[in-house]
């Protein structure tokens, strides 16, 4: 079988730019609590797309371009943040409508 990842990684979302949905992929070397959250460029929380335990390996979550209330967000640059027990990783993405 495939070997487990050696470190936490956060990949560039795909597609990017995107409309209306994008995939956010990450890897974990062991099972741990993971939070994947979206922020606007001013640092305001837009939506949490995952918050809970995740097994070791490769994973993908999907963001559909909506905020926590289900409203479509405007075009622009957004930051997605992966928070684990030991790491915080950030990347940016562009929503184009």
Question: What average pLDDT does the chain have?
Answer: 95
Per the model's pLDDT, the better-predicted residue between 20 and 2 turns out to be 20
Strand partners, 95: 18, 76
In angstroms, the CA 97 to CA 89 distance is: 26
pLDDT digits (tens, 9 = 90+) for 12-50: 999 999 999 999 999 999 999 999 999 999 999 999 999
User: For residue 1, is pLDDT > 60?
Assistant: no
CB-based contact 34:57 (threshold 8 Å): no
pTM metric for this prediction: 0.94
Average pLDDT over residues 93-97: 96
């Amino acid at each position: 079988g495939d070997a487990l990842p050696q470190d936490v990684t956060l990949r560039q979302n795909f597609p990017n730019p995107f409309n209306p949905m994008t995939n956010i992929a990450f890897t974990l070397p062991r099972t741990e609590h993971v939070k994947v959250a979206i922020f606007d460029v001013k640092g305001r929380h837009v939506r949490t797309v995952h918050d809970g335990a995740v097994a070791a390996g490769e994973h993908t979550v999907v963001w559909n371009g909506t905020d926590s209330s289900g409203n479509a967000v405007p075009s622009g640059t957004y930051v997605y943040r992966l928070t684990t027990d030991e790491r915080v990783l950030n990347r940016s993405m562009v929503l184009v409508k």
